[in-house]
């Protein structure tokens, strides 16, 4: 039987509507809109699109979204100075530094400088540590989106075996922490894992966050498993054009899984929706003086 398609585009609309309502209530209570500041350094075309979308999406839900575009030649200390200025700015609730930064800038130095209370990407070591110790505050957006998609699939996570392929700080590790918090038994696989296919076949829930086009084939999947495909890979479409595919061989796996996220239209739209949710969360925490 063909798998149920977990429509991330539609679900992201629901999340955005929830945030829009939350923003209206926030404004009524505190007399100001939550503020999101997005920093782009350089002229990477994909990053330009992502950052413009983030600014637009935040304004669409009633926030005060603003994009700072700095040239690729900007010295590291100037980027740092901007982050520090936004850290000190009362009207700024969320700061997002678009990655990757130009090679001349030490990414970790910049990310570590973001006030953890405004770290809406959830990448600061303090927020990563809080998540790992079971006290989540600001959690990375893509993993939050994955969990909401799993909720849509109504898959019982308690006691389920979840296999996460990928151990990045941005996706793999935080999604594993969130699954653990839901009482799944979690295995994290990576590039040194032996017999990945056999391991994945044990999964009730399989999350692929690798960045390798269609790595996960039909023989990686247990019949009835729920499959979340985080990967975004641009490949040759064979007609002189390119197309986006995930880390999962969709057509094959959709015949075996009980539910699956498509690429595009699965995890991707959820990421930006949870950036908005995180900005609202940060705004509330700051306004309530709890951070
Ligand atoms: P990283 O490159 O940081 O991490 C990739 C992980 O995959 C690493 O842990 C790596 O292992 C592991 N890996 C690589 N090759 C293999 C292999 N052959 N078998 C098993 N594991 C392997 O990527 P990200 O986590 O940042 O992103 C992963 C994918 O998700 C990318 O396609 C990215 O574009 C996409 N993405 C999508 C988002 C969305 O909104 N939908 C948001 C963020 C990312 P090791 O640690 O051993 O090197």
Burial of 200 (0-12, 13-18, 19+ CB in 10 A): buried
Q: Is residue 16 part of a domain?
A: no
Whole-angstrom distance, CA of residue 106 vs CA of residue 123: 15
Residues 176 and 227 in one domain: yes
CATH of the domain at 253: 3.40.50.720
211 forms bridges with which residues in the sheet?
Answer: none
Q: Is residue 217 part of a domain?
A: yes
What are the tens digits of pLDDT across the range 66-110?
999 999 999 999 999 999 999 999 999 999 999 999 999 999 999
Question: Which residue in the list 93, 119, 121, 229 is annotated as catalytic?
Answer: 121
289 pLDDT band, cuts 50/70/90, is confident
- Kindly report the protein residue whose alpha carbon is nearest to atom 16 of ligand 1: 191
Rg (C-alpha) for the chain, rounded Å, is: 19
- Is the CA virtual torsion 243, 244, 245, 247 positive or negative? positive
Peptide bond into 288 cis (omega under 30): no
pTM exceeds 0.85 for this model: yes
* Strand pairing report for 185-189 and 161-165: parallel
Same domain? 111 vs 207: no
Same domain, 78 and 154: no
Question: Side by side, which strands form the sheet with 4-5?
Answer: 4-5, 259-260, 226-229, 205-208, 161-165, 185-189
What's the domain count of the chain? 2
Checking if the pLDDT of 290 tops 80, the result is: no
Task: Check whether residue 96 and residue 198 sit in a common domain.
Answer: no
Are 95 and 177 in the same domain? no
221 in the same domain as 184: yes
What is the domain extent for residue 44?
31-115
Q: Name the domain boundary from 115, 150, 183.
A: 115
Indicate whether 4 belongs to any domain: no
Which of 44, 111, 166 is the best mutation target for the ligand 1 pocket, counting ligand atoms within 8 Å of the beta carbon and taking the most?
166
Residues 194 and 250 occupy one common structural domain = yes
Same domain, 88 and 162: no
pLDDT at residue 225 is higher than 70: yes
Q: What is the pLDDT of residue 179?
A: 98
Judgement on whether residues 147 and 214 belong to the same structural domain of the protein: yes
SS3 207: strand
Question: Do 183 and 234 lie in a common domain?
Answer: yes
State whether the beta carbon of 166 lies less than 6 angstroms from ligand 1. yes
pLDDT for 120-142, tens place per residue? 999 999 999 999 999 999 999 99
Q: Tens digit of pLDDT for each residue in 182-213?
A: 999 999 999 999 999 999 999 999 999 999 99
pLDDT tens figures, 97-107: 999 999 999 99
Instruction: Confirm whether residue 286 is marked as ligand binding.
Output: no
Nearest atom in ligand 1 to the alpha carbon of residue 233 is 32
Atom 6, ligand 1: residue with shortest CA distance:
166
Pocket lining: 48 vs ligand 1, CB cutoff 6 Å: no
Question: Which CATH number fits the domain that encloses residue 54?
Answer: 3.40.50.10860
pLDDT tens digits, 252-272:
999 999 999 999 999 999 999
Q: Report the C-alpha gap between 122 and 143 in whole angstroms.
A: 10
C-alpha distances in Å from residue 188, one per residue of 65, 162, 196, 224, 238:
36, 8, 11, 20, 34
Is 174 found in the same domain as 91? no
Q: Is residue 149 part of a domain?
A: yes
Q: Whose CA is nearest to atom 18 of ligand 1?
A: 191
User: Is 130 a member of any domain?
Assistant: no
CA-angle at 117, arms to 114 and 122, nearest 5°: 70
């Amino acid at each position: 039987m063909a798998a149920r398609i977990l429509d991330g585009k539609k679900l992201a609309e629901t999340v955005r509507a929830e945030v829009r309502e939350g923003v209206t209530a926030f404004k009524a209570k505190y007399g100001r809109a939550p503020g999101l500041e997005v920093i782009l350094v350089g002229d990477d075309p994909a990053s330009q699109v992502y950052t413009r979308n983030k600014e637009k999406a935040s304004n669409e839900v009633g926030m005060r979204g603003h994009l700072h575009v700095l040239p690729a030649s900007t010295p590291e200390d100037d980027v740092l100075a901007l982050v520090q200025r936004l850290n000190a700015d009362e009207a700024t609730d969320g700061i997002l530094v678009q990655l990757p930064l130009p090679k001349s800038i030490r990414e970790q130095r910049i990310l570590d400088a973001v006030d953890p209370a405004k770290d809406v990407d959830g990448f600061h070591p303090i927020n990563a540590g809080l998540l790992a110790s079971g006290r989540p505050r600001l959690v990375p957006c893509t993993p939050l989106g994955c969990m909401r998609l799993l909720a849509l699939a109504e898959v019982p996570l308690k006691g389920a075996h979840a296999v996460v392929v990928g151990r990045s700080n941005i996706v793999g590790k935080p999604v594993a922490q969130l699954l653990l918090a839901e009482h799944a038994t979690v295995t994290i696989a990576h590039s040194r894992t032996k017999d990945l296919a056999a391991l994945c076949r044990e999964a009730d829930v399989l999350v692929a966050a690798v960045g390798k086009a269609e790595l996960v084939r039909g023989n990686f999947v247990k019949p009835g498993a729920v499959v979340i495909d985080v990967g975004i890979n641009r490949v040759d479409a064979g007609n002189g054009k390119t197309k986006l595919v995930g880390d999962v061989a969709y057509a094959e796996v959709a015949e075996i899984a009980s539910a699956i996220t498509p690429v595009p239209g699965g995890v991707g739209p959820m990421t930006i929706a949870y950036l908005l949710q995180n900005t609202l969360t940060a705004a509330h925490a700051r306004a309530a003086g709890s951070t």
